[in-house]
C-alpha cells in the first residue's frame, strides 16, 4: 500500500515541501484590502479561456457584506508573460492579487500555495473553470454566523458544461419528494462526520465553487498531499474533518463545470477507485466501523464507488469489470440492493434530523 495513504492522518506538513519554490506578486496591492475576512483563492494552469468567467464571478459579488480579496495563483511556471497574465490584467479591481509560481507545483501543491498566500480568516476555493453565484459571499457570511466552532462549509453545486456562460445558468427545479426535502433543508447546516465519510464515501465534494475553510485550520492539518493525486482532496478533507467540524449546506454556492480534462483520463479514473479502496483498508484497520463495513459490505462498497466513477467515463474507455476482478471483488445483486437501501436510508435519516434539530 502507498505509504502516503497509510499516513494521511499523520498531519505531515506538505507546505514545507513547496517552500523552496517562490511565488511572485505580479499584479495587485496587498495594502488595498489590508485585512480581508474571506480570500477567494483561484489556482490556475493554462485555462485562460475559462478563467475570465471564474474571476468575473468572484469580483462581481452582490452586497458581499464583508471585506474580501481574490487571489489568483498561476502554476504555469513561466517567467515571461502568459495568456493567463493577459486575462488577469484585463481586470481593474483593487481586490485582485495575481501571483506566479516560479515552478509548477502540481495541482494540489498549488492549492497549498493558495492557502499560504491567502490573508483572509476564511479561504474559499474556486477552480479556474468553475463560477460562484452572485450572492455567494452574502449567503456564506450568513451561514458562518449560524454555528460556533465551524471549521468549514461545503455545498451543493449546479452542474454546467462548456457551452454555458455566466448569464445562462438555471438552478435545478425543486420538484417531487427530493425537491420538498431540499426546500426544507435550505439555510440549514448539517454537521458532517468521518463516520458519514466511511459509510457514504466522498461526502465533501471537490474544494471549489466557494467551499470555505478556516485558514488556520487548513494550515494545522498540513495541506494537500500531491502524491495522492487525483484523490488528494478527499483524503485531505477526511483528515480535516477528523480534526475540525465541517458542515454541509443545501444553499447553492456555485456552478461546477464538467470538462474532458486530466481528471477524466482512464488512468485517473482507475486511480479514483484504487486510492479510495486503499483509504478504506486503512480505516478498516483503525476503526471499529471500518472493520464492520469491510466485513459486511466489502464488495458492495466497491461496486457503489465504481458506479459513481463510471458516470465520468463518458467514452467507455475503462474496463471496469476487469478492474474489479483484478482487485478481487465479486458482484452479488441482492446484497448490493440491500446495501444501497441501507445507505440511502442512513443519508435521508441524517437529513431529516438536520431539518428537525439544526
- Rounded to an integer, the average pLDDT of 205-210 is 94
Residues paired with 191 in a beta bridge: 247
Say which residue, 285 or 304, is predicted with more confidence. 304
What structural domains does the chain harbor?
A: 3-259 (3.90.550.10), 264-357 (no CATH)
Give the residue with greater pLDDT, 172 vs 325: 325
pLDDT value at residue 315: 78
- What are the pLDDT digits (tens) for 37-96? 999 999 999 998 899 999 999 999 999 989 999 999 999 987 777 899 999 999 999 999
Beta pairing, strands 96-101 & 68-74: parallel
What pTM was estimated for this model as a whole?
0.93
Strands 68-74 and 152-160: unpaired
| Helix, strand, coil distribution of the chain in percent, nearest 5 | 45, 15, 35
pLDDT at residue 167, as a whole number:
47
User: 163 versus 21: which is more confidently predicted?
Assistant: 21
- Degrees to nearest 5, angle at CA 279 with 276 and 283: 140
Contact 318, 271 (CB under 8 A): no
Contact 284, 290 (CB under 8 A): yes
Residues 6+ apart with CB under 8 A from 317: 266
Rounded to a whole number of angstroms, the CA Rg of the chain reads: 20
In sequence order, what are the residues at sequence separation of 6 or more whose Cβ sits closer than 8 angstroms to the Cβ of residue 348?
Answer: 181
CA 161 – CA 145 distance, rounded (Å) = 33
Instruction: Say how far apart CA 166 and CA 131 lie, in whole Å.
Output: 8
Nine-digit cell at 185? 433543508
Q: Calculate the dihedral angle through the C-alpha atoms of 118, 122, 128, 133, rounding to the nearest 10 degrees.
A: -140
For the segment 99-132, what is each residue's pLDDT rounded down to a tens digit?
999 999 999 999 999 999 999 999 999 999 999 9
Q: Mean pLDDT, the chain, as a whole number?
A: 90
CA distance 154 to 204: 6
Amino acid at each position: 500500500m502507498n505509504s502516503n495513504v497509510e499516513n494521511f492522518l499523520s498531519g505531515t506538513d506538505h507546505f514545507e515541501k513547496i517552500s523552496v519554490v517562490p511565488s511572485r506578486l505580479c499584479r495587485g496591492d496587498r495594502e488595498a484590502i489590508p485585512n480581508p475576512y474571506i480570500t477567494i483563492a483561484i489556482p490556475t494552469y493554462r485555462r485562460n479561456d475559462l478563467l475570465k468567467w471564474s474571476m468575473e464571478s468572484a469580483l462581481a459579488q452582490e452586497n458581499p457584506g464583508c471585506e474580501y480579496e481574490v487571489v489568483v495563483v498561476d502554476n504555469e511556471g513561466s517567467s515571461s508573460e502568459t495568456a493567463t497574465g493577459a486575462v488577469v490584467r484585463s481586470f481593474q479591481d483593487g481586490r485582485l492579487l495575481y501571483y506566479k509560481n516560479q515552478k509548477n507545483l502540481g495541482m494540489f501543491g498549488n492549492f497549498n500555495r493558495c492557502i499560504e498566500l491567502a490573508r483572509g480568516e476564511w479561504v474559499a476555493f474556486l477552480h479556474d473553470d468553475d463560477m460562484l453565484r452572485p450572492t455567494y459571499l452574502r449567503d456564506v457570511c450568513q451561514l458562518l454566523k449560524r454555528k460556533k466552532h465551524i471549521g468549514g462549509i461545503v455545498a451543493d453545486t449546479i452542474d454546467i458544461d462548456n457551452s454555458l456562460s455566466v448569464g445562462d445558468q438555471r438552478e435545478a427545479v425543486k420538484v417531487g419528494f427530493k425537491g420538498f426535502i431540499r426546500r426544507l433543508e435550505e439555510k440549514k447546516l448539517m454537521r458532517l462526520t468521518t463516520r458519514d465519510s466511511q459509510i457514504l464515501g466522498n461526502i465533501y465534494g471537490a474544494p471549489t465553487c466557494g467551499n470555505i475553510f478556516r485558514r488556520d485550520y487548513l494550515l494545522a492539518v498540513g495541506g494537500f498531499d500531491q502524491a495522492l493525486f487525483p484523490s488528494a482532496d478527499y483524503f485531505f478533507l477526511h483528515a480535516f474533518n477528523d480534526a475540525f467540524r465541517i458542515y454541509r449546506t443545501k444553499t447553492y454556492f456555485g456552478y461546477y463545470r464538467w470538462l474532458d480534462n486530466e481528471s477524466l483520463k482512464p488512468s485517473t479514473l482507475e486511480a479514483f477507485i484504487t486510492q479510495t479502496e486503499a483509504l478504506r483498508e486503512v480505516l478498516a484497520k483503525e476503526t471499529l466501523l471500518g472493520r464492520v463495513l469491510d466485513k459486511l459490505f466489502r464488495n458492495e462498497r466497491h461496486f457503489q464507488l465504481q458506479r459513481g466513477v463510471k458516470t465520468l467515463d463518458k467514452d467507455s474507455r475503462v474496463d471496469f469489470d476487469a478492474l474489479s476482478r483484478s482487485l478481487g471483488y465479486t458482484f452479488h445483486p441482492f446484497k448490493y440492493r440491500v446495501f444501497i437501501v441501507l445507505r440511502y436510508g442512513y443519508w435521508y435519516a441524517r437529513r431529516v434530523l438536520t431539518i428537525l434539530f439544526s
